[in-house]
Amino acid sequence: MGRMHETPGHLRRPAHDTAPPTALTIAGSDSGGSAGMHADLRAFFSCGVHGMTAVTAVTVQNTVGVTGLVEIPPETVAAQIGAVATDIGVDAAKTGVLSSATTIEAVLAACDEHGIGRGRRTPFVVDPVAASRSGEPLLRPDALDALRDEAFPRATLVTPNLDEVRLLTGIDARSRDDLLDAAKAVHDFGPDWVLIKSGHLLDDPKCVDLLFDGTDAIQLPGPRYSTVHTHGAGDVFASAITAALAKGASMPDAVAAGKRFVTRSVEHAYPLGAGVGPVSTFWRVSPRSL
Ligand SMILES: Nc1ncnc2c1ncn2[C@@H]1O[C@H](COP(=O)(O)OP(=O)(O)O)[C@@H](O)[C@H]1O
Ligand SMILES: Cc1ncc(COP(=O)(O)O)c(N)n1
């Protein structure tokens, strides 16, 4: 096998003969290209890591809504994780749509087998995606319990938005002052770190997210842009954090880098279709550079 990688003496050496860090997203696809694994891969690319996928579900989706979801067999999801972990290696992993308890069990078993998770070699970011921006549920009712009881205790970081906080804890956060109570309640489910996202506090003039490790809380201030085009914001945030973790950043540094990335992504969000457009994952690339 080694011979495949040898460069014959008469050819130029490629510019890169060392690999970039690698990140894996275990998530659903979005046919509209705005959210899910499509957004994750673009954010990984923009943040300079090699992105890989274990597809959990295929959604029929555009900027207006989600009209279909087909689950990938759990053993195929687990096999995708195994295929990339045993050959390529995973420096950090994240989850998106995990639509059933059976899928969650298969994902967690594969992660356990390959050293992905809290206290293991590979950091594991669990984004408990429950619904799309347009409101359609993206998981079965049993998946929420499995996320909370099985996935959260194995997570290095969990990243709920305020709707997900309400579903998971019953806490209805209405202002910045409520975020610490929300973070404490989610931390009790067992992850190392909790990041509460504040995008849904529409009356707040800023977007101040909160990172909590069970003892200390760190505020992550950012501006609030006046845009409806925030499809994929949470996915891009979790992916940018995962990319920074893949490069070896500490959790506070990774989350700060992710916040800077998602803020610029929202700043450059664009209208698309008749509904909610995506945040931009390529604001670092000038449209005139091609
Ligand atoms: N209008 C906005 N302007 C700037 N940042 C935003 C805006 N809306 C959301 N964000 C940021 O995007 C990230 C994702 O937040 P949120 O919308 O709460 O999550 P989700 O996409 O999972 O619903 C957070 O850092 C949040 O502060
Ligand atoms: C496949 C998939 N994964 C995740 C989301 C959540 O993203 P958003 O909350 O921005 O709709 C989505 N809509 N589709």
| C-alpha 233 to ligand 2 mean position (Å) | 9
pLDDT of residue 14: 72
Sheet containing 124-126, strands listed edge to edge, beginning at the edge strand earlier in sequence: 66-71, 50-61, 22-30, 92-95, 124-126, 157-158, 193-196, 209-212, 217-220
Does residue 44 surpass a pLDDT of 80? yes
Give the Å distances, CA to CA, from 56 to 106, 140, 190.
11, 13, 24
Q: Look up residue 153 and give its two tokens.
A: 């205790």
Q: Assign 108 a pLDDT band (cuts: 50, 70, 90).
A: very high
For a ligand 2 pocket test, name from 26, 29, 30 the mutation site with the most ligand atoms within 8 angstroms of its C-beta.
Answer: 30
| C-alpha 17 to ligand 2 mean position (Å) | 35
pLDDT tens digits for range 115-132: 999 999 999 999 999 999
pLDDT of residue 284: 84
Is 15 in a helix, a strand, or coil? coil
Check: CB of residue 126 under 8 Å from CB of residue 155.
yes
| C-alpha 199 to ligand 1 mean position (Å) | 4
Q: Whose CA is nearest to atom 19 of ligand 1?
A: 234
Q: What is the mean pLDDT of residues 169-179?
A: 97
Tell if the pTM clears 0.90, that is, is over it: yes
Q: Look up residue 89 and give its two tokens.
A: 């290696």
Give the Å distances, CA to CA, from 61 to 48, 199, 231.
27, 22, 11
Kindly indicate whether the ipTM for this predicted assembly is greater than 0.95, answering yes or no: yes
State what percent of residues in the chain have pLDDT above 90. Answer: 89
> CA-CA distance, 121 to 111, in Å (whole number)?
11
Higher-confidence residue of 6 and 84: namely: 84
Check: CB of residue 36 under 8 Å from CB of residue 29.
yes
Q: Assign 288 a pLDDT band (cuts: 50, 70, 90).
A: low
Which-ligand-closest: CA of 256? 1
Question: CB within 6 Å of ligand 2 — which residues?
Answer: 27-30, 35-36, 59, 61, 96-97, 129, 132-133, 231-235
In the chain, the N- to C-terminal Cα span, in Å, equals 36
pLDDT tens digits for range 86-96: 999 999 999 99
Q: Assign 46 a pLDDT band (cuts: 50, 70, 90).
A: very high
> CA-CA distance, 220 to 195, in Å (whole number)?
10
pLDDT of residue 287: 61
A 10 A CB-CB count for 71 gives: 18
Q: What is the mean pLDDT of residues 252-279?
A: 97
Check: CB of residue 175 under 8 Å from CB of residue 164.
no
Least confident among 116-125, 175-184, 212-221, 281-290: 281-290
- What average pLDDT is seen over the chain? 95
> CA-CA distance, 92 to 127, in Å (whole number)?
14
